[in-house]
Amino acid sequence: MLQLQKLFSLALILLALLCWMPQANQVFAQDEISSKDQKTIQSFEKYVGQMSEQITAQKGATAISAAKKAIVQLKKLVKKPNAAVITKIKPTYQTLKSGYQQMVDAGVRMPALAELPNTSAAGDKPDASAGQVSFVKDVAPILNSKCGNCHVNQKRGNFSLVTFNEISTGGGVIAGDPETSRLIEVIESGEMPKGGGKVSKAELGVLKKWITAGGKYDGDNRAQSIANLGAPMMASSVEVVPVRRPKGSETVSFALDIAPILVDNCQRCHMINGPRGNFNMADFVALLRGGDSGAVIKPGEANDSHLVQRLRGDGVDVMPPNKKLSDELIAKVVTWINEGASFDGMSAKDSTIQVASIARVNAMTHEELIEDRKQTSAKIWKLAMTDVTAEVVASDSFLVQGNLSKENLQGISALAEEIAAGSKLTSKGSDQPFVRGNAIIFAFSKRYDFGEFGRMVEERNFPRKISSAWTKTPERAYVALLVTRNQTAADVEVELHRQLSALFVAGRANDVPRWFADGYGWTQTKKAFPRDETVQALEGRAEAAASKMNKLDDFVNNRIDADQAALVGYLFVKELKKKSGSYSKLMADLDKGESFEKSFAKHFNLPVNMMLKRMSAATR
């Protein structure tokens, strides 16, 4: 517990960042790891990161290629074992081992994977008792008895414990690291199990020991349902439908045509926890998986696809039950399946709602999106301020809407345009709009009204200490700002600058994480207003916010107060900017609209998701 309390101290954050950043990895003293080994380690980590990224993207061939390259680098590192080297690469090795086993289980012929030498002499002291924990005899019975109804027999909440392959991927179990394993986290927090059940301290201890020892599997088939462990093995009757990318000749798009049909007609029953028939349409992977009756889509064979039979009512109850889809919509689904049932969104794990939303917005021109956001802003205002008429001021990049005087709104509009004019990512500047489709600024004269906006629109309570917030989704881009009666635009300039800067960078790509946008907003504001009282207190506030957080995962997944997370985001971005060359290239890519995660991995030689594991490893 003491270790958790110290996890987010500033010293550890800086150490962690230095740990994972390429060419600055100094977990051990310089003389313990030669420069040659350091370069090999960097290559090893880069290839493992690429493998992990490609597995997530469902790109098997490139994942296999990256894994093979990582194995070559690994052989170099274990040829003449060095305790410091082995200890340093252990977390990355576990990631490689997990991906490697998936490939072998899938029938892929892979070169032998070297085992890491024992580093106990270097201070690595694994729990001897942990090695005696058996997954089949000790772990599986706990999972079956406490989690079986929802996560073994079903896959509720997109948290699957059906097979060991599914348990060991997606962060549910991180080998060697129980504290950041999702399985342990939901048990310790009391989030699971639901329904009054409880995992005893002894059972939790067994799970932790098993993960600490490497989360190894001692059964015969990693793809076997753990519900069948101890019973005669049965061949799986569930056909796995792979995610296919478009070939270019398709006439129907999943993102633009099919996803909106599913969202409009199936969301109520099949995009919720505990979906009807265990058929989850919340994301594309779940859609292909099907429900209790197995896969519902046979790519290239629409007439034999259970989904089409349901939509038509061919010998089965028609779906949706309240109103059959039009022949036109059913025909689109049929054509999409016959053309291969391909996926043209960013990630097959993105929510179907998000996929549809992104496609809809991307299909609009900048001008069309401006008009769409004008209508959206009116609806948002009405939701929060039902009986209050808003004044509206439009400019080149913004629509300012609020219950302030027209003069005050015009001052905010002019100030926002000045901020937008100075917001350029690249040295050459950008010819893109500040935010595609322009941004809305909601201005409130009373704290109560600002708080009501938080409750009704953002569905959260704004802490009294904050006076601004921002949101960026494919369809929404806005800043909410409190400007009391005694204030003018000049009084809220620093807050407006910070929130607009965050909104600006969040709008450059669909996958820019919130922590990065917030951190960017703070660093830009610190540069612009170094003498401001709020800015001068920034370092101390950020350090205090970091020290109060228990788990890094809470920060990354937005499970802590947004204002506090923004302060910690500043610490991360500040450290990233020290690697000026890589940072500049990342920002240049964002200016072109390229993926944040892919650009980050390319220029920092490490995917963002690997950062968490390295940071956790650095604190042990």
How confident is the model over 94-139, as pLDDT tens digits? 778 877 876 775 667 788 888 887 654 333 333 433 347 888 778 8
Please indicate, yes or no, whether residues 325 and 407 belong to a single structural domain of this protein. no
Distance from C-alpha of 577 to C-alpha of 215, rounded to nearest angstrom: 36
Cβ neighbours of residue 460 under 8 Å, at least 6 residues apart?
454, 562
Give residue for tokens 């010819």.
431
Among 94, 120, 146, which residue terminates a domain? Answer: 120
Please indicate, yes or no, whether residues 318 and 404 belong to a single structural domain of this protein. no
Number of domains, the chain: 4
Give domain status of residue 100, yes or no: yes
Please indicate, yes or no, whether residues 13 and 58 belong to a single structural domain of this protein. yes
Q: Quote the tokens at residue 369.
A: 């999106």
Confidence at residue 207, expressed as pLDDT on a 0 to 100 scale: 87
Please indicate, yes or no, whether residues 159 and 296 belong to a single structural domain of this protein. no
Neighbours of 439 (CB within 10 A): 27
Please indicate, yes or no, whether residues 112 and 144 belong to a single structural domain of this protein. no
Among 310, 343, 376, which residue terminates a domain? Answer: 343
CB contact at 8 A, 490 and 451? no
Please indicate, yes or no, whether residues 164 and 294 belong to a single structural domain of this protein. no
Confidence at residue 233, expressed as pLDDT on a 0 to 100 scale: 33
Alpha helices in 106-251 (DSSP H): 140-147, 164-167, 182-188, 201-212
Give domain status of residue 478, yes or no: yes
Distance from C-alpha of 569 to C-alpha of 497, rounded to nearest angstrom: 16
Task: Give the count of alpha carbons within 13 A of 221, CB side only.
Answer: 16
Question: What's 458's domain CATH number?
Answer: 1.10.390
How confident is the model over 440-491, as pLDDT tens digits? 999 999 999 999 999 999 988 998 889 999 999 999 999 999 999 889 999 9
Weakly modelled stretches of the chain, pLDDT under 50:
1-31, 120-131, 152-154, 195-196, 230-238, 426-428, 612, 615-620
Distance from C-alpha of 407 to C-alpha of 609, rounded to nearest angstrom: 47
Peptide bond into 117 cis (omega under 30): no
CB contact at 8 A, 5 and 547? no
Q: Quote the tokens at residue 282.
A: 């919340």
CB contact at 8 A, 259 and 314? no
Please indicate, yes or no, whether residues 200 and 293 belong to a single structural domain of this protein. no
Give domain status of residue 449, yes or no: yes
Please indicate, yes or no, whether residues 278 and 376 belong to a single structural domain of this protein. no
Please indicate, yes or no, whether residues 571 and 487 belong to a single structural domain of this protein. yes
CB contact at 8 A, 200 and 187? no
Give domain status of residue 505, yes or no: yes
Among 64, 97, 120, which residue terminates a domain? Answer: 120
Please indicate, yes or no, whether residues 500 and 564 belong to a single structural domain of this protein. yes
Give domain status of residue 90, yes or no: yes
Confidence at residue 58, expressed as pLDDT on a 0 to 100 scale: 59
Look up residue 454 and give its amino acid. G
Please indicate, yes or no, whether residues 403 and 522 belong to a single structural domain of this protein. yes
Give domain status of residue 598, yes or no: no
| Residue range of the domain that includes 112 | 2-120
Distance from C-alpha of 568 to C-alpha of 545, rounded to nearest angstrom: 7
**pTM value?**
0.62
Please indicate, yes or no, whether residues 143 and 112 belong to a single structural domain of this protein. no
Integer CA distances (angstroms), 312 to 251, 320, 333, in order: 21, 10, 11
Distance from C-alpha of 153 to C-alpha of 535, rounded to nearest angstrom: 52
Give domain status of residue 586, yes or no: no
Where do the DSSP E strands lie in 445-594?
468-472, 477-482
If we measure between CA atoms, which residue out of 563, 561, 582 comes closest to residue 522?
Answer: 563
477-482 β-sheet, strand order:
391-394, 398-402, 439-444, 477-482, 468-472
Give domain status of residue 50, yes or no: yes
Distance from C-alpha of 417 to C-alpha of 420, rounded to nearest angstrom: 5
Peptide bond into 91 cis (omega under 30): no
CB contact at 8 A, 482 and 467? yes
Distance from C-alpha of 446 to C-alpha of 454, rounded to nearest angstrom: 13
If we measure between CA atoms, which residue out of 257, 279, 255, 253 comes closest to residue 267?
Answer: 279
Q: Quote the tokens at residue 519.
A: 């951190």
